[in-house]
Structure 1
Amino acid sequence: MDTPEHPKAEAQAQPTTADDNNQVIELDEPIKRGNSDITSITLRKPVSGELRGVNLMELAQMDVQALRKVLPRISTPSLTDVEVGRMDPADLMQCGVAVASFLLTKKARQASLEA
Protein backbone atom coordinates (compact mmCIF):
# COMPACT_ATOMS: atom_id res chain seq x y z
CA MET A 1 0.00 0.00 0.00
CA ASP A 2 1.75 3.13 -1.22
CA THR A 3 -0.41 5.69 0.51
CA PRO A 4 0.41 8.68 2.74
CA GLU A 5 -1.23 6.88 5.66
CA HIS A 6 1.46 4.19 5.50
CA PRO A 7 4.89 5.84 5.80
CA LYS A 8 6.67 2.48 5.76
CA ALA A 9 5.16 1.78 2.34
CA GLU A 10 6.42 5.16 1.11
CA ALA A 11 9.95 4.42 2.28
CA GLN A 12 9.94 1.16 0.32
CA ALA A 13 8.50 2.73 -2.84
CA GLN A 14 10.54 2.35 -6.02
CA PRO A 15 12.15 5.36 -7.74
CA THR A 16 9.79 7.37 -9.91
CA THR A 17 9.74 6.98 -13.66
CA ALA A 18 11.43 10.38 -13.97
CA ASP A 19 14.34 9.10 -11.84
CA ASP A 20 14.58 5.94 -13.96
CA ASN A 21 14.73 8.05 -17.11
CA ASN A 22 17.47 10.50 -16.01
CA GLN A 23 20.91 10.04 -14.52
CA VAL A 24 23.23 12.77 -13.32
CA ILE A 25 26.89 12.07 -14.00
CA GLU A 26 29.42 13.93 -11.82
CA LEU A 27 32.52 14.27 -13.96
CA ASP A 28 35.97 13.51 -12.54
CA GLU A 29 37.49 15.84 -15.15
CA PRO A 30 35.39 18.89 -16.06
CA ILE A 31 34.74 19.56 -19.72
CA LYS A 32 36.11 22.93 -20.81
CA ARG A 33 33.63 25.03 -22.80
CA GLY A 34 34.85 28.53 -23.48
CA ASN A 35 35.55 30.20 -20.15
CA SER A 36 33.43 27.76 -18.15
CA ASP A 37 33.70 24.20 -16.94
CA ILE A 38 31.00 21.54 -17.15
CA THR A 39 31.29 19.51 -13.96
CA SER A 40 28.19 17.34 -14.32
CA ILE A 41 25.83 16.27 -17.06
CA THR A 42 22.36 14.81 -17.00
CA LEU A 43 21.64 11.93 -19.34
CA ARG A 44 18.07 11.08 -20.21
CA LYS A 45 16.73 7.83 -21.55
CA PRO A 46 16.75 8.07 -25.35
CA VAL A 47 13.70 7.49 -27.49
CA SER A 48 14.00 5.25 -30.52
CA GLY A 49 14.58 8.11 -32.97
CA GLU A 50 17.63 9.25 -31.03
CA LEU A 51 19.18 5.84 -31.56
CA ARG A 52 19.10 6.08 -35.36
CA GLY A 53 22.29 5.04 -37.05
CA VAL A 54 23.54 3.23 -33.93
CA ASN A 55 23.94 -0.50 -33.45
CA LEU A 56 22.20 -1.29 -30.16
CA MET A 57 24.61 -4.13 -29.36
CA GLU A 58 27.54 -1.73 -29.76
CA LEU A 59 25.79 0.80 -27.55
CA ALA A 60 25.07 -1.85 -24.90
CA GLN A 61 28.76 -2.81 -25.03
CA MET A 62 29.68 0.87 -24.52
CA ASP A 63 31.42 1.18 -27.88
CA VAL A 64 33.07 4.61 -28.04
CA GLN A 65 31.80 5.45 -31.53
CA ALA A 66 28.23 4.52 -30.58
CA LEU A 67 28.46 6.65 -27.42
CA ARG A 68 29.84 9.58 -29.44
CA LYS A 69 26.71 9.46 -31.61
CA VAL A 70 24.19 9.11 -28.77
CA LEU A 71 25.56 11.24 -25.92
CA PRO A 72 25.15 14.59 -27.75
CA ARG A 73 21.51 13.67 -28.38
CA ILE A 74 20.63 12.87 -24.76
CA SER A 75 22.87 15.07 -22.59
CA THR A 76 22.13 18.29 -20.75
CA PRO A 77 23.98 20.47 -21.32
CA SER A 78 24.14 19.11 -24.83
CA LEU A 79 27.67 17.90 -25.48
CA THR A 80 29.32 18.02 -28.89
CA ASP A 81 30.97 15.04 -30.56
CA VAL A 82 34.35 16.72 -30.00
CA GLU A 83 33.63 17.21 -26.28
CA VAL A 84 32.66 13.56 -25.93
CA GLY A 85 35.85 12.60 -27.77
CA ARG A 86 37.92 14.58 -25.28
CA MET A 87 36.23 13.19 -22.15
CA ASP A 88 38.25 11.48 -19.48
CA PRO A 89 37.92 7.69 -20.01
CA ALA A 90 36.48 7.22 -16.51
CA ASP A 91 33.77 9.80 -17.24
CA LEU A 92 33.01 8.20 -20.60
CA MET A 93 32.69 4.85 -18.83
CA GLN A 94 30.21 6.34 -16.34
CA CYS A 95 28.16 7.66 -19.23
CA GLY A 96 28.33 4.31 -21.01
CA VAL A 97 27.06 2.47 -17.95
CA ALA A 98 24.16 4.91 -17.67
CA VAL A 99 23.26 4.56 -21.36
CA ALA A 100 23.52 0.76 -21.22
CA SER A 101 21.19 0.72 -18.20
CA PHE A 102 18.64 2.73 -20.18
CA LEU A 103 18.49 -0.14 -22.69
CA LEU A 104 17.33 -2.63 -20.04
CA THR A 105 13.71 -3.34 -19.31
CA LYS A 106 12.38 -2.06 -15.98
CA LYS A 107 12.27 -5.63 -14.67
CA ALA A 108 15.89 -6.33 -15.69
CA ARG A 109 17.06 -2.99 -14.25
CA GLN A 110 15.36 -3.75 -10.94
CA ALA A 111 16.88 -7.27 -10.86
CA SER A 112 20.37 -5.81 -11.41
CA LEU A 113 19.86 -3.37 -8.52
CA GLU A 114 18.79 -6.19 -6.20
CA ALA A 115 21.74 -8.44 -7.09
Structure 2
Amino acid sequence: MNKQLFKVKLAIPMEVDGKEVAELELRKPTAGDLRGLNLVQVCEMHFDAATVLLPRISKLNERDILNMESENFAPIMTEIASFFVDTKH
Protein backbone atom coordinates (compact mmCIF):
# COMPACT_ATOMS: atom_id res chain seq x y z
CA MET A 1 0.00 0.00 0.00
CA ASN A 2 1.30 3.46 -0.92
CA LYS A 3 1.09 5.71 2.13
CA GLN A 4 0.64 9.39 1.37
CA LEU A 5 2.52 11.51 3.90
CA PHE A 6 2.15 15.25 4.39
CA LYS A 7 4.11 17.60 6.65
CA VAL A 8 2.57 20.37 8.74
CA LYS A 9 4.78 23.13 10.12
CA LEU A 10 3.89 23.72 13.74
CA ALA A 11 3.45 27.28 14.97
CA ILE A 12 5.17 26.32 18.23
CA PRO A 13 7.55 23.34 18.33
CA MET A 14 6.46 20.63 20.74
CA GLU A 15 8.15 17.76 22.51
CA VAL A 16 7.24 14.26 21.33
CA ASP A 17 9.00 11.21 22.78
CA GLY A 18 11.64 13.48 24.33
CA LYS A 19 12.49 15.20 21.05
CA GLU A 20 11.56 18.67 19.82
CA VAL A 21 9.27 18.53 16.79
CA ALA A 22 8.79 21.60 14.58
CA GLU A 23 7.02 19.75 11.77
CA LEU A 24 4.46 17.00 12.12
CA GLU A 25 4.11 14.24 9.54
CA LEU A 26 0.53 13.13 8.83
CA ARG A 27 -0.50 10.09 6.85
CA LYS A 28 -3.58 10.51 4.70
CA PRO A 29 -6.32 8.58 6.54
CA THR A 30 -7.69 5.34 5.18
CA ALA A 31 -11.31 4.31 5.65
CA GLY A 32 -10.24 2.21 8.64
CA ASP A 33 -8.63 5.23 10.31
CA LEU A 34 -12.02 6.96 10.20
CA ARG A 35 -13.97 4.18 11.90
CA GLY A 36 -16.21 5.47 14.66
CA LEU A 37 -15.73 9.08 13.58
CA ASN A 38 -18.19 11.54 12.09
CA LEU A 39 -16.53 12.86 8.92
CA VAL A 40 -18.34 16.19 9.24
CA GLN A 41 -16.85 16.64 12.72
CA VAL A 42 -13.39 15.80 11.40
CA CYS A 43 -13.75 18.42 8.64
CA GLU A 44 -15.16 20.95 11.11
CA MET A 45 -12.07 20.44 13.29
CA HIS A 46 -13.86 19.14 16.39
CA PHE A 47 -11.32 18.51 19.13
CA ASP A 48 -12.81 15.16 20.15
CA ALA A 49 -12.54 13.90 16.57
CA ALA A 50 -8.90 15.03 16.50
CA THR A 51 -8.03 13.14 19.69
CA VAL A 52 -9.26 9.93 18.05
CA LEU A 53 -7.88 10.47 14.53
CA LEU A 54 -4.46 12.03 15.15
CA PRO A 55 -2.94 9.04 17.00
CA ARG A 56 -4.04 6.86 14.07
CA ILE A 57 -2.32 8.98 11.40
CA SER A 58 0.64 10.58 13.20
CA LYS A 59 3.18 9.84 15.91
CA LEU A 60 1.16 11.82 18.46
CA ASN A 61 -0.62 10.09 21.30
CA GLU A 62 -3.63 11.37 23.22
CA ARG A 63 -1.46 13.01 25.92
CA ASP A 64 0.56 14.85 23.24
CA ILE A 65 -2.67 16.21 21.78
CA LEU A 66 -4.05 17.29 25.16
CA ASN A 67 -0.79 19.12 25.94
CA MET A 68 -0.46 20.67 22.47
CA GLU A 69 -0.28 24.45 22.19
CA SER A 70 -3.58 25.72 20.80
CA GLU A 71 -1.74 27.54 17.97
CA ASN A 72 -0.72 24.13 16.55
CA PHE A 73 -4.22 22.68 16.46
CA ALA A 74 -5.67 24.71 13.56
CA PRO A 75 -2.84 24.07 11.05
CA ILE A 76 -2.92 20.34 11.77
CA MET A 77 -6.69 20.06 11.48
CA THR A 78 -6.77 22.27 8.38
CA GLU A 79 -4.39 19.84 6.67
CA ILE A 80 -6.57 16.89 7.72
CA ALA A 81 -9.75 18.60 6.47
CA SER A 82 -8.02 19.29 3.15
CA PHE A 83 -7.68 15.53 2.59
CA PHE A 84 -11.44 15.44 2.05
CA VAL A 85 -12.02 18.59 0.02
CA ASP A 86 -8.84 19.29 -1.93
CA THR A 87 -8.21 17.26 -5.06
CA LYS A 88 -4.40 17.79 -4.82
CA HIS A 89 -4.37 15.19 -2.01
State the identity %: 28
| Structural mapping, 1:1-115, within 5 Å | 21-33=4-16, 35-75=18-58, 78-104=59-85, 106=87
Paired residues, what number? Answer: 87
**CA gap 1:33/1:105 in 2 versus in 1, 3 angstroms:** closer
Measured in 1, the distance between the counterparts of 2:13 and 2:29 equals 23
Q: 1:40 offset after TM fit, Å?
A: 1.2
Q: 1:105 offset after TM fit, Å?
A: 5.6
Q: What's the C-alpha RMSD, in Å, of the aligned pairs?
A: 2.0
1:2-55 deviation digits (Å, cap 9, x = unpaired): xxxxxxxxxxxxxxxx8xx43211112222235421221111210000011111
Q: 1:103 offset after TM fit, Å?
A: 1.3
Q: Which has the higher contact order (CA 8 A, sep 6+)?
A: 2
TM-score, scaled relative to structure 1: 0.67
Decide whether the 8 Å contact of 1:27 with 1:39 is kept in 2.
yes
Paired residue secondary structure (1:53): coil
TM-score, scaled relative to structure 2: 0.84
Q: Which runs of 5+ in 1 are unaligned?
A: 1-17, 111-115
**CA gap 1:40/1:85 in 2 versus in 1, 3 angstroms:** same
